[in-house]
């Protein structure tokens, strides 16, 4: 329903939808990903380009194996005319192998990532009660709400004093200096980002715990 509303709005305003679906394989159990190209309105679907790659799912970044597709031949020909495809032979072979033979591995990965999210959620609740944590419906990225800590250290005031863009950018530096952990400011990603920092749980449990331990020590001492 949300995608149809966005698609209709774009259609009415002559805006082509560019749907970045590179994280589409990372869906939590009980949730479903809806590709834009599978929406029930053909006119809306024809007004879109979808982008994807196996690089995130199968850890193949740098192999030049991204691709795009559209149900509208005219739109697709425009893209092909103005953009030079630069996929690599190795990337094509690796992608085919991953998509054909990587199902079992991906199932194990998704289960591990879901456990990482659960571990991080429980850890934050127990060891950083001032920090908010909401498990996302998908991806290996999550948003830690450091609003209370930012208020404690006067992040907004310090950002203004140092002529930084916002409190999240100042807090990014503060967190590095006090914990050695580097997170991306939520304000980089639009509405809903202020007060939050992006945390990647797509690693070993040991690394995730080490990062959380360091952040907890810094936040609790603030």
Contact criterion met (CB below 8 Å) for 59 and 22: no
Contact criterion met (CB below 8 Å) for 28 and 137: yes
Class of domain 2-101: alpha beta
Contact criterion met (CB below 8 Å) for 197 and 185: yes
* Beta-bridge mates of residue 27: 138
Contact criterion met (CB below 8 Å) for 65 and 53: yes
Quote the tokens at residue 158: 């310090």
With H, G, I as helix, E, B as strand and everything else as coil, classify residue 51. Answer: strand
* Beta-bridge mates of residue 197: 144, 185
Contacts 24+ apart (CB under 8 A), 172-175: 172/197, 175/215, 175/218
At 83, the pLDDT band (50, 70, 90 cuts) reads: confident
Q: With 80 as the cut, is the pLDDT of residue 84 above it?
A: no
* Beta-bridge mates of residue 99: none
Cα–Cα dist 71/47, whole Å:
8
pTM for the complete prediction? Answer: 0.88
Residue 197: burial class (beta carbons within 10 Å; 0-12, 13-18, 19+): buried
- What does the pLDDT average to over 66-83? 90
At 189 the pLDDT is 92
Quote the tokens at residue 26: 């990372």
Domain ranges of the chain: 2-101, 104-221
At 24, the pLDDT band (50, 70, 90 cuts) reads: very high
Class of domain 104-221: alpha beta
**What are the pLDDT digits (tens) for 99-126?**
999 999 999 999 999 999 999 999 999 9
**What are the pLDDT digits (tens) for 25-43?**
999 989 999 999 999 999 9
């Amino acid at each position: 329903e949300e995608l149809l509303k966005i698609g209709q709005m774009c259609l009415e305003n002559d805006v082509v939808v560019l749907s970045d679906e590179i994280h589409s394989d990372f869906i939590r159990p009980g949730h479903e990903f809806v590709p834009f190209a599978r929406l029930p309105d053909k006119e809306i679907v024809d007004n879109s380009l979808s982008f994807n790659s196996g690089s995130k799912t199968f850890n193949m970044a740098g192999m030049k194996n991204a691709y795009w597709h559209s149900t509208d031949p005219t739109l697709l020909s425009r893209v092909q005319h103005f953009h030079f495809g630069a996929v690599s032979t190795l990337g094509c072979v690796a992608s085919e192998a991953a998509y054909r033979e990587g199902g079992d591995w991906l199932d194990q990965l998704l289960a591990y990532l879901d456990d990482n999210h659960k571990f991080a959620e429980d850890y934050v609740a127990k060891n950083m009660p001032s920090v908010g944590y909401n498990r996302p419906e998908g991806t290996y990225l999550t948003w830690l709400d450091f609003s209370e800590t930012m208020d404690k250290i006067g992040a907004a005031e310090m950002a203004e004093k140092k002529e930084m863009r916002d409190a999240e950018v100042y807090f990014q530096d503060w967190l590095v200096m006090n914990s050695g952990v580097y997170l991306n400011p939520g304000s980089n990603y639009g509405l809903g980002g202020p007060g939050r920092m992006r945390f990647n749980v797509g690693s070993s449990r040991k690394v995730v715990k080490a990062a959380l331990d360091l952040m907890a020590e810094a936040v609790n001492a603030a």
